[in-house]
Structure 1
Amino acid sequence: MPTHAHAWPGGPFGPPPAPPRSAVRRLLVPVGVLAGVAAAFAYVGTVDPNEPGHYPVCPLLRFTGIYCPGCGGLRSAHAFVHGDLPAALGANALAVIGYGVFAVVMALWLIRAARGVPMRLALSPAWSWGIGAVLALFTLVRNLPFGSALAP
């Protein structure tokens, strides 16, 4: 038996804990993600998706005539950036809900990163199936005559 407790790397109880990261390093990734999303929204806010030729056409809509859950998302983001919430909801209501969910998750991530608490976002299978069901139902309803208010 070794006479020194640290005769091998990490000692008898595993590797030593990592030194605490600085606030700048902890905030680097969430701030980078937020900057990327803000840049994308700024671009969509500047380059109007209502004018043809700036963005590709949704392949599902082009080849089948069916609105996917993302159809109208760019027009929704454009209207949202310009503060026109009714137009944003009319273009894609689910996307507007997604903007709100993203804002909450980003706020939590930034707060936790500033405090040095890791952010772990793990969805249970029930949540994953629930989100999938909402997307499928939204897609179905927006393509039926009575759900035309959800179509872009």
Structure 2
Amino acid sequence: MNSLRRRSALEAWLGGGLLAAVTLAAALLDPTRPGRFPTCPFRGLTGFDCPGCGTLRALYELTHGHLVAAVDYNAFLVAFLPFAVVVWLRAITGRSGPRVLPVWCARAVLAVVVGWAVMRNLPVFGGALAA
């Protein structure tokens, strides 16, 4: 394994460890109870949900086996997690290799995130996508 792949695998393990720590904290501390975690600064300033609003509560529900409740809090996170797991597994096994994503890919991801942020704040959905 060359040094670039080793570094990529190390970064993947560190990222996975960070996500595991956040998930464990969310599972044990129940973010659905007020005062456990700080509120979203974007929501506090604007009154709108950001793309990440509801993520901790969705993680809490996922760790307790409540998929529908997790989707209720943040459907984007629930849809994104399987893709993240595949990318993570490829990185730790060295299968991903050092690649730079094309510019269009970064633009597509940004468009999806912005689209999600806008959609979840539209009144046409009646708050169904809100956190």
Q: TM-score, normalised by structure 1?
A: 0.73
Mapped pair 1:90 → 2:72: yes
Q: Which of 111, 122, 128 lines up with 1:133 in the alignment?
A: 111
Q: Which of 85, 106, 109 lines up with 2:91 in the alignment?
A: 109
Aligned residue number for residue 12 of structure 1 = none
Q: Deviation at 1:104?
A: 0.7
Larger Rg over CA atoms: 1
Q: Deviation at 1:130?
A: 0.8
How far apart in 1 are the matches of 2:100 and 2:7?
A: 23
Q: Which amino acid aligns with 1:151?
A: A
Query: What is the identity percentage for the equivalent residue pairs of Structure 1 and Structure 2?
Result: 31
Q: Which amino acid aligns with 2:40?
A: C
Structure 1 segments unaligned to the other structure (5+ residues): 1-18
Aligned residue number for residue 97 of structure 2 = 119
Q: Which amino acid aligns with 1:110?
A: I
Q: Which of 79, 83, 86 lines up with 2:61 in the alignment?
A: 79
How far apart in 2 are the matches of 1:25 and 1:145?
A: 45
Task: Label 1:121 to 1:93 Cα distance change in 2 as closer, same or farther (>3 A).
Answer: farther
More helix by share: 2
Aligned residue number for residue 9 of structure 1 = none
Mapped pair 1:62 → 2:41: no
SS in structure 2 at match of 1:127: helix
How far apart in 2 are the matches of 1:146 and 1:105?
A: 34
Question: Does the 8 Å contact 2:49/2:120 carry over to 1?
Answer: yes
Highest relative contact order (Cα 8 Å, sep 6+), 1 or 2? 2
Provide the aligned C-alpha RMSD in A: 2.4
Q: Deviation at 1:110?
A: 2.0
Aligned residue number for residue 26 of structure 2 = 44
Structure 2 segments unaligned to the other structure (5+ residues): none
Q: Which amino acid aligns with 1:150?
A: L
How far apart in 1 are the matches of 2:39 and 2:8?
A: 38
Q: Deviation at 1:27?
A: 5.5
Q: Deviation at 1:145?
A: 1.4
Question: Does the 8 Å contact 2:10/2:92 carry over to 1?
Answer: no
How far apart in 2 are the matches of 1:37 and 1:121?
A: 23
